[in-house]
Structure 1
Amino acid sequence: MGVVALVTAAILLVPFVAMQFTGEVNWTLSDFVIAGVLLAGTGLAYVLCTMKMSNPRSRLVIGAVLAVALLLVWAELAVGLIGTPFAGS
């Protein structure tokens, strides 16, 4: 579970550092919180779903499904890809 927290923090460090050097990245605290919850939640879901699995192919499939779901939610929140009421922009 600690690995999930470290990976989440490392990923969130990228936009934080980018904000220091360019005005192109402009995240608010709520952006970091939402991204952290999405990333940590996906990581924890993967760990919990694959905890008892020994088949690498099953782990790969679960990881791919969770990654696609994460990317769809992220894209919807960022730019409104699907057009739901909580879409961004």
Structure 2
Amino acid sequence: MKIQEKLHSGKFRIIAILTLTAGILAIPLIAMQFTDEVKWNLTDFIMAGALLLSTGIAIELVIRNLKTGIWRTVILVFILLVLFLIWAELAVGIFGSPFAGS
């Protein structure tokens, strides 16, 4: 199998999603060891992990089912926009919802 084919295989992308999620979650975990400014508990890690994994899987599904085109781009941008809005709401409460972090 060529390298190009391996990079575009679904198995490789799933491994990349899991690795990136673990890497992103490792940032606050490591930061908590060196500073008191980062104070995450188990619920924070679970919520962030669920949010990142669901976003990654949604992106993977779009990539698998829509080969090219404007709709694929629009849906991917929408997924990322939803990720950033939920993340911001959980972090600082920009909309003032009951589950806001502020």
Q: TM-score, normalised by structure 2?
A: 0.78
Mapping 1:11-22, distance limit 5 Å: 11-22=24-35
RMSD, aligned CA: 1.5
Give the alignment partner of residue 91 of structure 2, picking from 56, 65, 78. Answer: 78
- Seen in structure 2, the aligned counterparts of structure 1 residues 24 and 61 have a Cα distance that, compared at 3 Å, is same
Q: Return the offset for 1:56.
A: 6.2
Question: SS at the partner of 2:65?
Answer: coil
Q: Match of 2:75?
A: 62
Deviating beyond 6 angstroms after TM superposition, the runs of 4 or more aligned structure 1 residues are: none
- Aligned positions, number: 89
Which ranges of structure 2 fall in alignment gaps of 5 or more residues? 1-13
Q: Return the offset for 1:54.
A: 2.2
Q: Return the offset for 1:62.
A: 2.6
Give, in whole Å, the separation in 2 of the partners of 1:29 and 1:84.
Answer: 21
